[in-house]
């Protein structure tokens, strides 16, 4: 039965995403504040989270994500459900640092451009550096950006080694990092292709980690501090699943 649900849900999710992307493109042309297109985006996030198998969403300290002006959210990454979950739970517009290839997907890519997502070409160091500098400028202006410091989804309970780019971004912008822990999404939709499972998911948000008095020499210490904070929030999120 789960295999049948997955076979039916996957194309429905694709078509739904394309329709939402088209709606965001239209809204984004007339709404630079994010009021309209972000509500459309949150609807997409909640719908895909539920379609992905989430029967309940537990949260802890979610208010730490509200009212942010210039910040970087950093979360562990264990499933394709993580971005929709984070989008669905955030009141304020959140931009992503994403692979540049995603921006070439018809309609979906145009929607990413319209709302100000940030492309990064990891294969071209010069372009990657330029993208991060541009992102730092946008964050200083008050935008909130989501970064998965592992760079890709982990297939085990152990987080992958962190990439340096997100931390360079934080240090350049001088804005706080908000550590986020997610639990339960891997059980529902693990990396790779498989049948969708059903169950609860959880997210816990940590205290802001300030970077305004740091410089490049503090990068390693900052990475260790954020790693420890995300690990702690993952434990908090996992505990919510036991309630």
Q: How far apart are CA 140 and CA 142, in angstroms?
A: 5
Q: Do the strands 94-99 and 118-120 form a parallel or antiparallel pair, or are they unpaired?
A: parallel
DSSP for 24-58, please give it.
HHHHHHH-SSSHHHHHHHHHHHHHHHHHTTEEEEE
pLDDT for the residue 1: 59
Mean pLDDT for the stretch of residues 234-242: 95
| Number of domains the chain is built from | 1
Helices (H) and strands (E) counted in the chain, each on its own, are 8, 7
> Whole-structure pTM over 0.85, yes or no?
yes
Give the C-alpha distances (Å, rounded to integers) separating 130 from 61, 97, 121, 135: 34, 13, 10, 9
CA-to-CA dists, residue 212 to 144, 164, 188, 243, angstroms: 16, 17, 38, 37
Stretch 120-142: mean pLDDT: 76
pLDDT value at residue 141? 86
Q: Residue 149 has what DSSP assignment?
A: T
Report residue 124's pLDDT band, with 50, 70 and 90 as the boundaries: low
As a whole number of angstroms, the distance between CA 175 and CA 183 comes to 26
CATH number at residue 111: 3.40.1130.10
125: Cα separation from own chain's centroid: 23
Residue with the larger pLDDT of the pair 157 and 40: 40
- Scored b (16 or more CB within 10 A) or e, 121-148 reads eeeeeeebeebbeebbebbeeebbbbbb
Range of the domain at 154: 2-241
pLDDT band at 209 (very low <50, low <70, confident <90, very high): very high
102 has pLDDT over 80:
yes
Q: What are the φ/ψ torsions at residue 121 (nearest 5 degrees)?
A: -95, 95
Q: Looking at residue 123, what is its pLDDT?
A: 65
Q: What distance in Å separates the CA atoms of residue 40 and residue 29, rounded to the nearest whole number?
A: 14
Return the structure tokens found at 141.
């202006």
Return the pLDDT at 194. Answer: 61
């Amino acid at each position: 039965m789960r295999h049948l649900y997955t076979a039916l849900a996957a194309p429905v999710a694709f078509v739904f995403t394309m329709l939402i992307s088209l709606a965001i493109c239209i809204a984004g042309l007339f709404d630079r504040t994010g009021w309209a297109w972000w509500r459309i985006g949150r609807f997409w996030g909640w719908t895909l989270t539920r379609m992905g198998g989430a029967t309940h969403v537990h949260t802890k300290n979610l208010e730490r994500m509200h009212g942010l002006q210039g910040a970087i959210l950093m979360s562990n990454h264990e499933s394709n459900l993580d971005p929709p979950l984070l989008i669905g739970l955030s009141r304020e517009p959140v931009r992503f640092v994403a692979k540049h290839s995603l921006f070439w997907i018809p309609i979906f890519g145009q929607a990413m451009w319209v709302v100000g997502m940030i492309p990064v070409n990891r294969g071209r160091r010069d372009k990657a550096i330029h993208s991060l500098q541009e992102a730092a400028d946008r964050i200083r202006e008050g935008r909130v950006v989501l970064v998965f410091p592992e760079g890709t989804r982990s297939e085990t309970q152990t987080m992958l080694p962190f990439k340096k780019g997100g931390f360079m971004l934080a240090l350049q912008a001088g804005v706080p990092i908000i550590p986020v822990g997610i639990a339960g999404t891997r059980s529902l939709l693990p990396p790779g292709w498989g049948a969708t499972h059903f169950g609860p998911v959880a997210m816990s948000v940590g205290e802001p980690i300030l970077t305004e008095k740091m410089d490049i020499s503090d990068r390693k210490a900052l990475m260790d501090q954020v790693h420890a904070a995300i690990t702690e929030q993952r434990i908090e999120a996992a505990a919510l699943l036991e309630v």
